[in-house]
Chains A and B, each alone.
Chain A
Amino acid sequence: MASSSSSGLTFKLHPLVIVNISDHYTRVKSQLSLPPSLTSTSSAATSNNNNNNSNGGENNQNPPPRVYGCVIGVQRGRTVEIFNSFELIYDPSTRSLDRSFLEKKQELYKKVFPHFYVLGWYSTGSDAQESDMHFHKALMDINESPLYVLLNPAINPAQKDLPVTIYESELHVIDGVPQLIFVRSSYLIETVEAERISVDHVAHLKPSGGSAATQLAAQLTGIHSAIKMLNSRIRVLHQYLVGMQKGDIPCESSVLRQVSSLLRRLPAIESEKFQDDFLMEYNDTLLITYLAMFTNCSSTMNELVDKFNTTYDRHSRRGGRTAFI
């Protein structure tokens, strides 16, 4: 299904489309995993909710839902620029597309963006499927050669590229039967200034994985791993020497000489003044950490106390917000 396209068109994808698709998918997925008993009125809310959330987690074992929508943009010459997208209701089992909704949306978008027209459609999943061809053909009456933008929602931390692929359709002759198949095309990401700001915002909201966020942390991690390795190597040497002393390992003077010269190089500084200064600096760092933790803990405690007072104190001071003039 995925060979490279030969149409020679250049595709430019705006990040708004990617954000829209991922938002659509996330919304649908989280709405699906909402446990049904949250709609009932239960008074012992929190513990029940905690239990139900664990049940809701099991619902995610079902295959994740696929979402569908249209992408719109401009085609100028050989460049196709995809600016925006909107959602559609499509049921793959019955292959029913809500035509009236699609037309209404097209009209609305035409009023605001007169130059844009429907360029194709999008969906989520790991790979293009046979059933997608039906939707593709259904859209062919709006656009003769629609595009298919596929977003892979599975999070793969090792992957460097965006999990977005754009497919075009081409008529190929397979086994003597002319068939429309999907072919992959390459694309570029194009941004406007406003989009750059929003992408930056989104990037900072996302929780960064395990990698160190700042340079300082990276450097300290490097030093830490280096020291850990040094420690483990010295431990190996120590075991070796102990074994040699016990007589399990035959004595080798050359190795012993090397070990002794290494050991003499190890302690870099060992003086009274160094100890003093080192301990003082260590203590200072610890005190700062302690202060930070203290502040953090006090602020949590403060919020907790406020909430507690709001909940349980019958005649608490009116805590409404003051006028904002």
Chain B
Amino acid sequence: MNLVEGLLTQIQGLSSTASDVLSLQNVLKQADESLHAESTRLLPFLDQLDPSKHSLGYLYFLEACTAGPVTTESASSFVLVIARFISSCVAEQIRLAPDKFISVCKRFKDQVLLLEEPLRGVAPMLTAVRKLQSSTEHLTTLHPEFLLLCLLAKCYKTGLSILEEDIFEVDQPRDLYLYCYYGGMICIGQKCFRKALELLHNVVTAPMSTINAIAVEAYKKYILVSLIHHGQLSTSLPKYASGVAQRNLKSLCLSYIELANSYNNGKIADLETYVQANMEKFGSDNNLGLVKQVVSSIYKRNIQRLTQTYLTLSLQDIANTVQLNSPKEAEMHVLQMIQDGEIYATINQKDGMVRFLEDPELYKTCEMIEHIDLSIQRLMTLSKKLTVMDELISCDPLYLGKAGRERQRFDFDDFDSVPQRFNI
């Protein structure tokens, strides 16, 4: 106990300037073991520390307190304490001990889930994420935890605000997979299928040395969202997908690929029988909702195909081609699609004719100028980052070794700038 009180006084004394905080950190690191030994009795001491001034010390104490197993009674008290800490702590002090902060927040998430109130954890976790990340382009381990809480609490809009940011730095690959997977699910919930497709695509094509379950699940959802959004699935993964993914993913998601094949044929009856046959499989993957959306999207796809063939068509003909029951249903579908901006058409209700139009965007407006200008700016920053990365990897000895080795020299005139052996 004397040790603990000694630590308390040190924390209170050494928390004012940056250099003091660094020396405090060394002290705390050495005292960490003994703190963990006293973990059950530390809770009352927390009141003597102020989280906004003594954030680092408070963090160490808190981490030691919560180290034990979580029970429901302790959970409710800890949740309050941790939430208050997260909202008032100082970001610079927290970043000195990021792993402790991450483990405290993870336990916070577990406790919130144990109490079955994920909504309580959403706002504090958002603050925690913002305080931990060094810039908005940095992905921390807390990002996927936050998205998980948003998913379970069904507040998708808060999750979307984090997903808007571009990520350029990642701490751990597993963070990236989980982040993009959960992010994809949130976007599906909000019906932003374009962004969902982008995020799921990131998981599927991320560099991985062995196949992992997150990628497999993400690929299943990717197939379904691709069918809903684009109406087709590209059969091969792009060349920047890792070799492991390219070889193994398809064999692990066979029933979904079959679904995509029968979707491409355009026959609704076949699709529905296939879905009925594999209902439990889709259900066990929790993808039933998506599959139903796929089935309803096939009507849209067929109507869109009609726009490429016909200039005008009667509602009755549409209903027949697309295998809808009545012209009234066809009119409803077409109206919905016009409202969503998926086709451009006018419905003449007097004679039941639909006239398909061209895209009315003339690209003459000032808003379009701003839009293009913004895109150009974004492209320029991206291009600069890519050039930097390209230069870095060109100097990487691992790359140079492999590039030099794989060459085959055929005659002496084939002068190449990369030598066969590269000894630095």
Other A-B pairs, 15, CB within 8 Å; known A286-B369, A286-B376:
A45-B395, A45-B424, A276-B364, A280-B364, A283-B364, A290-B376, A293-B380, A293-B383, A303-B390, A307-B393, A309-B239, A310-B399, A313-B242, A320-B406, A321-B414
**A290 CB contact (under 8 Å) in B366, B375, B390, B414:** B375
B253: chain A residues within 8 A (beta carbon)? none
Encoded as 1 (CB less than 8 Å from any A CB) or 0, chain B from 380 to 397 comes to: 101100110110111111
Q: List 5 A-B residue pairs with CB atoms under 8 Å apart, sorted by A's residue number.
A: A287-B363, A294-B379, A303-B390, A307-B394, A314-B243
Q: Which residues of A contact B (CB under 8 A)?
A: 38, 41-43, 45-46, 49, 276, 279-280, 282-284, 286-287, 289-290, 293-294, 296-297, 300-301, 303-305, 307-316, 318-321, 323-324
Closest to B365 in A: A279
B231: chain A residues within 8 A (beta carbon)? none
A99 to chain B, nearest CB (A): 37
B312 to chain A, nearest CB (A): 29
B393: chain A residues within 8 A (beta carbon)? 304, 307-308, 311
Question: Among residues 11 to 35 in chain B, which have CB atoms less than 8 Å away from a CB atom of chain A?
Answer: none
Measured in the bound complex, the distance between the Cα atoms of B376 and A310 in whole Å is 30
Closest to A49 in B: B395
B403 interface contact, C-beta 8 A = yes
Measured in the bound complex, the distance between the Cα atoms of B408 and A283 in whole Å is 49
Contact at A283–B243, with CB atoms within 8 Å? Answer: no
Known: A290-B372, A290-B375, A293-B380. A311 touches B364 (CB 8 A): no
Contact at B243–A304, with CB atoms within 8 Å? Answer: no
Contact at A320–B407, with CB atoms within 8 Å? Answer: yes
Q: Which residues of B contact A (CB under 8 A)?
A: 207, 239-240, 242-243, 362-366, 368-369, 372-373, 375-376, 379-380, 382-383, 386-387, 389-390, 392-399, 402-403, 406-408, 410-411, 414, 423-424
Measured in the bound complex, the distance between the Cα atoms of B408 and A324 in whole Å is 11
Closest 9 CB pairs of A and B: A311-B399, A305-B240, A286-B372, A297-B383, A300-B386, A320-B408, A293-B379, A46-B395, A279-B364
A303: chain B residues within 8 A (beta carbon)? 390
Known: A279-B369, A300-B387. A321 touches B376 (CB 8 A): no
Contact at B376–A293, with CB atoms within 8 Å? Answer: yes
Contact at A321–B364, with CB atoms within 8 Å? Answer: no
A44 to chain B, nearest CB (A): 9
Contact at A324–B365, with CB atoms within 8 Å? Answer: no
B399: chain A residues within 8 A (beta carbon)? 307, 310-311
Contact at B424–A309, with CB atoms within 8 Å? Answer: no
Chain B interface SS verdict (over half) = helix
Measured in the bound complex, the distance between the Cα atoms of B362 and A43 in whole Å is 56
Measured in the bound complex, the distance between the Cα atoms of B208 and A308 in whole Å is 12
Contact at A283–B363, with CB atoms within 8 Å? Answer: yes
Known: A282-B369, A318-B406, A321-B408. A309 touches B240 (CB 8 A): yes
B169 to chain A, nearest CB (A): 16
Closest to A284 in B: B363
B369: chain A residues within 8 A (beta carbon)? 279, 282-283, 286
B396 to chain A, nearest CB (A): 6
Contact at B240–A308, with CB atoms within 8 Å? Answer: yes
A48 to chain B, nearest CB (A): 10
Measured in the bound complex, the distance between the Cα atoms of B243 and A308 in whole Å is 12
Measured in the bound complex, the distance between the Cα atoms of B368 and A304 in whole Å is 31
Closest to B379 in A: A293
A89 to chain B, nearest CB (A): 28
B382: chain A residues within 8 A (beta carbon)? 297
Contact at B383–A300, with CB atoms within 8 Å? Answer: yes
A223 to chain B, nearest CB (A): 19
Measured in the bound complex, the distance between the Cα atoms of B395 and A38 in whole Å is 13
A282: chain B residues within 8 A (beta carbon)? 369
**B386 CB contact (under 8 Å) in A280, A287, A304, A312:** A304
B395: chain A residues within 8 A (beta carbon)? 45-46, 49
Contact at A46–B406, with CB atoms within 8 Å? Answer: no
Measured in the bound complex, the distance between the Cα atoms of B408 and A293 in whole Å is 35
Known: A286-B369, A311-B396. A280 touches B363 (CB 8 A): yes
